[in-house]
Structure 1
Amino acid sequence: MTRALIVIDVQESFRASPLWEAISDPKIADKVNRLVRLARRAGDLVVWVLHSEPGSGGAFDPALGHVRLLAELEGPEAGEPVVHKTSHNAFTTTNLQQLLTERGVRDLTVCGIRTEQCVETTARVGSDLGYQVTFVVDATATNPIAHRDAPADRSVAELLADPRTLPADEVIRRTEYALAGRFATIATVAGLEAAAEDLA
């Protein structure tokens, strides 16, 4: 086992937030499930990551009950670790690197929410730690991002109406450009499925 699929923050916390109505892919669980099936068939490790912010009182506060995988996800199965992080990347506040080292993992496939935040940050840190990283861009999701000078307490409608808001598709495109050839190989779910069929 030298490869691992890292499923990052595909959790109910996001669905509990008003911003979910503007998520780039509300059916992200479908694509993640396809990757999970691929990984399991190949005998790869699947690691599930959840983000929590204890004591925050928000959707990521474990006390509110939203820090759990999206109900549609097919996992975890026995032997698949679930790690809880409190930082943006999946390494700093968890034992993820230890888990991967113990299993001889050198190649990471990453997916999840949000594209440019926790998934991208995990890809960058993983690359810096010496892992070969594959970033499955269409198995990530994100939201439009407000301009830095915009008020923090606006509604989703106000966010979307602001011409300074960076649309989700532009966020994803920027992430691809930032990672490709530097920190990760960019892939799609269908591309990985086709590659697995060719090897079968």
Structure 2
Amino acid sequence: MSRRALIVIDVQNEYVTGNLPIEYPDVNESLANIGLAIDAANAHGVPVVVVQNFAPSTSPLFARGSAAAELHDVVANRPRAHYVEKSMPSAFTGTDLAGWLAAREIDTIVVAGYMTHNCDDSTVKHAVHAGLSVEFLSDATGAVPYENRAGRASAEEIHRVFSVVMQSRFAAVLTTAEWIAALDTGAAPVRENIFTSNQKARAGAAAR
């Protein structure tokens, strides 16, 4: 059996009522699923780690001391085993997270929270490089759209593509309901790899 910890990343008002509203999946859906995941983790003895991001007080996002930087009630009002404050995308960088997990012999982290393509992705890859297994709750996370000199991508495109890439190598991607069922049954989540993911895509393209 895996020894898991649920890492709930940056579920802060900035993503709900602030300057960086999550667009896909719908933020109310992801918030509800984050709450379900925390409740299930607590019920199954899976420690919950809450991560909160802060920027300087002059920043347009996550300004320390602002209401937008505060934890959303769905996280703030639920029990947790550990709290991590960060200022970089990865929840491991400049924090005690790695040591805290190692001291408890945790070998698998479960990532929920925001954003799919930034702090979630950075934390997932940091964990894999450190030798941990990862599970990613795709409907308890979310993305925003971007446009810059490199191009434009919708929130749905970003979330979908990052989820597909994670499943190809870095994490087992599950819905919250699938993850809770795995906790109940002890079933191992489906993991895939780069080769089979590419083979499926090539076979599908050829069939069309």
Q: By the TM > 0.5 criterion, same fold?
A: yes
Percent of counterpart pairs with the same letter? Answer: 28
Residue in 2 aligned with 1:178? Answer: 165
Deviations 1:91-112 (A, max 9, x none): 0121111111111111100011
The runs of 5 or more residues in structure 1 that have no matched partner are 150-163
2:72 to 61, 66, 70: 70
SS for the counterpart of 2:170 is: coil
Residue in 2 aligned with 1:145? Answer: 146
Counterparts in 2 of 1:190 and 1:21: CA distance versus 1, 3 Å: closer
Structure 1 position 65, deviation (Å): 3.3
The runs of 5 or more residues in structure 2 that have no matched partner are 188-208
Deviations 1:137-183 (A, max 9, x none): 1110111111335xxxxxxxxxxxxxx53111110111012211311
SS for the counterpart of 2:101 is: helix
Conserved? CA contact 1:14–1:59, under 8 Å: no
Alignment of 1:53-92 (within 5 A): 53-73=55-75, 75-77=77-79, 80-92=81-93
Residue in 2 aligned with 1:110? Answer: 111
Residue in 2 aligned with 1:99? Answer: 100
Give the distance between the partners of 2:22 and 2:90, measured in 1 at CA. 25
Conserved? CA contact 1:16–1:59, under 8 Å: no
**TM-score of the two chains, using structure 1 as the length reference:** 0.84
Conserved? CA contact 1:24–1:143, under 8 Å: no
Conserved? CA contact 2:128–2:134, under 8 Å: yes
Residue in 2 aligned with 1:157? Answer: none
Give the distance between the partners of 2:56 and 2:91, measured in 1 at CA. 16
Counterparts in 2 of 1:75 and 1:46: CA distance versus 1, 3 Å: farther
Counterparts in 2 of 1:199 and 1:182: CA distance versus 1, 3 Å: closer
Conserved? CA contact 1:57–1:64, under 8 Å: no
Residue in 1 aligned with 2:50? Answer: 48
Give the distance between the partners of 1:19 and 1:90, measured in 2 at CA. 19
SS for the counterpart of 1:111 is: strand
Residue in 1 aligned with 2:153? Answer: 166
